[in-house]
C-alpha cells in the first residue's frame, strides 16, 4: 500500500478493553492508554478516593486496593459515559491535543457483530457528543492483517505472504479471543469463532489461585497482572512440565519479591544470586507459571465449555469452503496481548499439527508487536491512497449523512466487516 | 463486605465467563458483584455464607423487592445505589437485539461462540494445582495422600472457594 504522510485530520483508534491505542493516520506508533478509570478505595466515611483516568494511572503511587471502571465488556463499548470520560482525557492537551472535532475524522476498529444498540450509541457519541466531521469503522482483525502486511514495508526480510490476501487472524487480547478467517480481503463472518477468555480472565484466575494457596491478593489486580506478564509462560509439553513442578526444588519455580510500596511499587523477580532479606515478602510461583496461560488452550480448566484456541481455529477454518482451507491454515496470524506469552506461537503450531490433516501446510505468524499490530494496520490503511478511496466510497459516514439518516447509516455501513 | 465506591467494580470476572445463573443475571451487574465478592473473596472472613446467595437468587425470579427486603437488607441498598449505573451490561444489550428471531444461518454474537472441546478436561489438584487422580467426598480433587489431610480439614465455605475456581460449585449440594 502506498504510504502517505501523517494525516492529522484522521484520528485512528483501536479502542480495546485493556488499552486504547490511538494516534494519527500514517503514524507508525500509537499512544497506548489504559482504557480504565481506576479509583482508590475510599479510606473513611465520606472521603472519596482519588480517581485516575487512563494514563494517569501511571502516576498512582499505590496500586493496591484500586477499583476499576471499564467502558468495554467483551470488546464492546457498553458504558458510553465512561468511554467519553476516557476519550476526553485522550483528546486533551496531555495526550493528543485535539479540540477542533468538526474538522476531524475518526477511524475506529470494531469487533465483529457489534450489537446495533452499541453501534448507534457510538455514532451518537462520535457525531453528537464530540461532533466529528467523519466516522469510519473497520474490523479490527482485518486491520491486524493489514498491519502485518504493512510490516513488510519496514522489514523486507520478513516472511513473504501468500498472494491471495487470506489469513486466519487470532486476536487474543484483554477480554476475549476472536478467530477470524479472511479470504481475499473479505472477512468470512459466518466462520468467526469467539472464546470468552482473554488476559483479564487469566489475571483473575492467577489472583484467585494465589489467594487460595498463598496470600490474599483479591484486591491486587494490578500487581497480579504484572506478575502474570513477568512470569507466566506457555508450556510446550504440559504433562512433562507438570511432572517437573511436583518437585520441591525445580527449574520452573521462581520467587517473586512482593512490593513494599517504598522501594518498589510492583515488586520484582528474585535473582538467583541475591539473598533474601528479612523484610522480603516472597511469592513462590511454580505450577502457576504454566497453568494460567494453559487456560487459553483448555478453557475447561476454569469451567468454561468453549474449546481452546487451537481447536477453535480448526472449528473456524473447517467451516469455510474447502478450497480456502489450505491457504488459511498456511497463514495463521497471532495478535493481541496474550501472544506475548513466551512459547505461545510454538504451542499453537504444535497443537495445530496434532489437530489438522497432514495434507495441509501450517504456518503461524506473529507480528513484531502483537499489541499494536491492529492499530498499525488501521493507521496504514487510513494513511494510504487505496485505503482512503475505500473509506470514502463505502466505509465512512459523514456528519451530514448522520444528520439525514440517523444512526442506521452507521449500522449499515459498519456491518460489512 | 466493604461497600463499593459508586459503581466501580472490583474488576473481577463478571465478563470473563458466562455462568449459568440465569436467575441472578436478571439483575444488573450489582448482583453479580455481590455474588462474586461473596464467592471470590478468598482468604477473607468477610463473606456471606453461600446460603444467602441462594436467597438473592430466588428473589431475582420474583422481582418484587419489597416483599423480601428483610432477608438481605444489604441487597436493597446495593440495588438502589446501582440505579446510578445508567448503562446496560452486554448480556442485557444482547437480549434486546433479539437474535433468536433471525434465521440460524445468520451469524451473530451468540452463534459464533466456539463449541465445546472434543477432548476430556484436565484434572488438577484444587489445593496444589498439580495433576490429580483423586476426588474427595466433598468434591475437592487432590494430588496425593500427602494433601488429603488438608482436604478433609476444609470447612464448607473454603470448599466452595476452591470449587469456585473451576466453577463447579453447583455440582455438590
Ligand atoms: N508480555 C505479556 N505477557 C502476557 N500477557 C500480556 C503481555 N503483554 C500484555 N499482555 C496481556 O494482554 C492483554 C491486553 O491485550 P490487548 O492490548 O491486545 O487487548 P485490548 O486490545 O486492550 O483488548 P480487547 O482487544 O480484548 O478489547 C492484557 O490482559 C495483558 O495482561
Ligand atoms: Mg484489541
Whether residue B117 and residue A242 make contact (CB cut-off 8 A), yes or no, is no
Q: Which residues pair with A109 in a beta bridge?
A: A138
Q: Whose CA is nearest to atom 8 of ligand 1?
A: A337
B146 CA: distance to closest CA in chain A (Å): 12
Any idea how long chain B is? 173
pLDDT tens digits for range A9-68: 999 999 999 999 999 999 999 999 999 999 988 766 666 788 999 999 998 888 988 999
Whether residue B108 and residue A307 make contact (CB cut-off 8 A), yes or no, is no
pLDDT of residue B72: 38
Identify which of A31, A28, A24 has the alpha carbon closest to the alpha carbon of residue A9: A24
Average pLDDT over residues A215-240: 96
Q: What is the spatial distance between Cα A416 and Cα A114, in angstroms, rounded to a whole number?
A: 11
Please tell me the pTM assigned to this model. 0.86
Q: Which ligand is nearest to the CA of A197?
A: 1
Confidence at A3, pLDDT banded by 50, 70, 90: low
Q: What is the spatial distance between Cα A32 and Cα A21, in angstroms, rounded to a whole number?
A: 5
Q: What is the spatial distance between Cα A178 and Cα A113, in angstroms, rounded to a whole number?
A: 11
Ligand 1 pocket by Cβ (under 6 Å): A 16-19, 72, 75, 173-176, 198-200, 225, 229, 336-338, 340-341, 371
A180 and A109 Cβ atoms separated by less than 8 Å: no
Q: Which residues pair with A33 in a beta bridge?
A: A20
Residues with CB under 5 A from ligand 2 (ion): A 16, 173
Q: Say what percent of chain B tops pLDDT 70.
A: 47
For the cut 80, the answer to whether the pLDDT of residue B12 exceeds it is no
Distance A17 CA to ligand 1 centre (A): 9
Q: What is the spatial distance between Cα A1 and Cα A149, in angstroms, rounded to a whole number?
A: 9
B136 and B152 Cβ atoms separated by less than 8 Å: yes
Write phi, then psi, for A309 (nearest 5 degrees).
-60, -50
State the DSSP code for B164: H
pLDDT of residue B37: 37
Which atom of ligand 1 is found nearest the CA of A14? 21
pLDDT of residue B27: 25
pLDDT of residue B31: 30
Q: What is the spatial distance between Cα A302 and Cα A6, in angstroms, rounded to a whole number?
A: 45
Whether residue B16 and residue A300 make contact (CB cut-off 8 A), yes or no, is no
Whether residue B4 and residue A67 make contact (CB cut-off 8 A), yes or no, is yes
Which atom of ligand 1 is found nearest the CA of A75? 27
Q: What is the spatial distance between Cα A392 and Cα A387, in angstroms, rounded to a whole number?
A: 9
Distance A19 CA to ligand 1 centre (A): 8
Q: What is the spatial distance between Cα A95 and Cα A277, in angstroms, rounded to a whole number?
A: 41
The per-type count for chain A, helices as H runs and strands as E runs, is 14, 20
Mean pLDDT, rounded, of chain A = 93
Q: 3-state class of A304 per DSSP?
A: coil
Alpha helices in A130-260 (DSSP H): 140-154, 199-213, 221-231, 238-244
Q: Which ligand is nearest to the CA of A234?
A: 1
Whether residue B129 and residue A73 make contact (CB cut-off 8 A), yes or no, is no
Alpha helices in A258-361 (DSSP H): 288-294, 309-318, 322-329, 344-355
Q: Which residues in B lie closer than 8 A to residue A298 (C-beta atoms)?
A: 117, 119, 121-122
ipTM of the complex in this document: 0.88
Q: Which residues in B lie closer than 8 A to residue A195 (C-beta atoms)?
A: 114
pLDDT of residue A279: 87
pLDDT of residue B64: 32
Distance A387 CA to ligand 2 centre (A): 21
Rg for chain B, CA atoms, rounded: 19
**Ligand 1 pocket mutation, candidates A114, A141, A174, criterion most atoms within 8 A of CB:** A174
A2 CA: distance to closest CA in chain B (Å): 34
pLDDT of residue A105: 97
Q: What is the spatial distance between Cα A301 and Cα B124, in angstroms, rounded to a whole number?
A: 8
Q: Which residues in B lie closer than 8 A to residue A125 (C-beta atoms)?
A: none
How buried is B122 (Cβ within 10 angstroms: 0-12 exposed, 13-18 middle, 19+ buried)? middle
Q: What is the per-residue DSSP string for A12-75?
A: EEEE-SSEEEEEEET-S--EEEE--EEEEPP-STTPPPPEEEGGGGGG-S--TTEEEE-SEETT
A112-121, A282-291, B70-79, B135-144, range with the lowest pLDDT:
B70-79
Q: What is the spatial distance between Cα A24 and Cα A54, in angstroms, rounded to a whole number?
A: 19
For the cut 50, the answer to whether the pLDDT of residue A285 exceeds it is yes
Distance A197 CA to ligand 1 centre (A): 11
For the cut 70, the answer to whether the pLDDT of residue A406 exceeds it is yes
A301 CA: distance to closest CA in chain B (Å): 6
pLDDT of residue A248: 86
pLDDT tens digits for range A134-146: 999 999 999 999 9
How far from the centroid of its chain's Cα atoms is residue B73's Cα?
A: 20
- H or E segment and range at residue A186: strand A186-187
Q: What is the spatial distance between Cα A376 and Cα A397, in angstroms, rounded to a whole number?
A: 22
Amino acid at each position: 500500500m502506498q504510504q502517505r504522510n501523517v494525516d492529522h485530520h484522521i484520528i485512528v483508534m483501536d479502542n480495546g478493553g485493556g488499552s486504547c491505542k490511538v494516534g494519527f493516520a500514517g503514524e507508525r506508533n500509537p499512544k497506548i492508554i489504559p482504557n480504565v478509570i481506576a479509583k482508590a478505595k475510599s479510606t473513611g466515611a465520606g472521603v472519596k478516593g482519588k480517581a485516575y483516568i487512563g494514563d494517569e494511572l501511571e502516576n498512582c503511587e499505590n496500586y493496591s486496593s484500586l477499583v476499576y471502571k471499564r467502558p468495554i465488556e467483551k470488546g464492546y463499548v457498553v458504558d458510553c459515559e465512561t468511554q467519553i470520560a476516557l476519550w476526553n482525557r485522550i483528546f486533551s492537551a496531555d495526550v493528543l491535543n485535539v479540540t477542533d472535532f468538526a474538522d476531524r475524522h475518526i477511524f475506529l476498529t470494531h469487533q465483529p457483530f457489534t450489537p446495533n444498540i452499541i453501534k448507534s450509541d457510538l455514532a451518537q457519541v462520535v457525531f453528537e457528543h464530540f461532533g466529528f466531521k467523519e466516522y469510519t469503522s473497520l474490523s479490527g482483525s482485518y486491520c491486524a492483517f493489514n498491519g502485518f502486511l504493512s510490516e513488510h514495508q519496514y522489514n523486507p526480510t520478513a516472511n513473504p505472504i501468500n498472494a491471495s490476501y487470506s489469513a486466519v487472524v487470532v486476536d487474543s487480547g484483554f477480554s476475549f479471543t476472536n478467530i477470524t478467517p479472511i479470504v481475499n480481503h473479505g472477512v468470512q463472518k459466518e466462520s468467526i469463532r469467539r472464546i470468552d477468555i482473554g488476559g483479564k480472565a487469566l489475571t483473575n484466575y492467577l489472583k484467585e489461585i494465589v489467594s487460595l494457596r498463598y496470600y490474599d491478593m483479591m484486591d491486587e489486580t494490578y500487581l497480579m497482572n504484572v506478575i502474570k506478564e513477568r512470569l507466566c509462560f506457555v508450556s510446550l509439553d504440559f504433562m512433562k512440565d507438570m511432572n517437573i513442578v511436583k518437585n520441591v526444588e525445580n527449574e520452573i519455580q521462581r520467587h517473586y519479591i512482593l512490593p513494599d510500596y517504598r522501594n518498589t511499587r510492583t515488586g520484582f523477580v528474585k535473582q538467583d544470586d541475591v539473598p533474601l532479606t528479612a523484610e522480603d515478602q516472597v511469592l513462590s510461583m511454580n505450577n502457576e507459571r504454566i497453568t494460567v496461560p494453559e487456560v487459553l488452550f483448555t478453557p475447561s480448566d476454569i469451567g468454561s465449555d468453549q474449546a481452546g484456541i487451537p481447536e477453535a481455529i480448526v472449528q473456524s477454518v473447517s467451516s469455510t469452503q474447502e478450497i480456502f482451507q489450505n491457504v488459511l491454515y498456511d497463514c495463521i496470524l497471532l495478535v493481541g496481548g496474550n501472544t506475548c506469552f513466551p512459547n505461545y506461537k510454538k504451542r499453537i503450531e504444535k497443537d495445530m499439527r496434532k489437530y489438522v490433516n497432514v495434507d495441509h501446510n501450517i504456518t503461524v505468524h506473529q507480528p513484531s508487536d502483537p499489541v499494536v499490530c491492529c492499530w498499525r494496520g488501521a493507521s496504514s490503511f487510513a494513511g494510504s491512497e487505496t485505503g482512503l478511496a475505500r473509506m470514502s466510497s463505502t466505509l465512512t459516514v459523514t456528519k451530514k449523512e448522520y444528520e439525514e439518516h440517523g444512526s442506521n447509516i452507521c449500522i449499515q455501513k459498519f456491518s460489512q466487516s | 463486605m466493604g461497600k463499593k465506591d459508586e459503581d466501580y467494580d472490583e474488576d473481577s470476572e463478571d465478563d470473563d465467563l458466562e455462568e449459568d445463573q440465569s436467575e441472578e443475571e436478571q439483575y444488573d451487574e450489582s448482583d453479580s458483584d455481590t455474588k462474586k465478592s461473596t464467592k471470590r473473596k478468598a482468604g477473607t472472613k468477610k463473606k456471606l455464607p453461600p446460603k444467602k446467595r441462594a436467597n438473592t437468587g430466588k428473589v431475582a425470579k420474583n422481582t418484587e423487592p419489597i416483599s423480601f427486603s428483610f432477608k438481605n437488607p444489604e441487597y436493597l441498598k446495593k440495588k438502589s445505589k446501582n440505579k446510578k449505573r445508567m448503562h446496560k451490561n452486554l448480556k442485557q444489550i444482547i437480549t434486546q437485539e433479539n437474535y433468536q428471531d433471525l434465521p440460524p444461518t445468520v451469524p451473530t454474537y451468540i452463534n459464533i461462540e466456539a463449541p465445546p472441546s472434543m477432548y476430556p478436561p484436565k484434572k488438577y489438584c484444587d489445593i496444589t494445582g498439580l495433576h490429580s487422580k483423586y476426588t474427595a467426598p466433598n468434591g475437592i480433587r487432590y494430588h496425593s495422600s500427602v494433601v488429603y489431610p488438608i482436604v478433609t480439614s476444609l470447612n464448607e465455605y473454603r470448599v466452595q472457594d476452591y470449587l469456585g475456581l473451576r466453577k463447579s460449585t453447583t455440582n455438590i449440594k
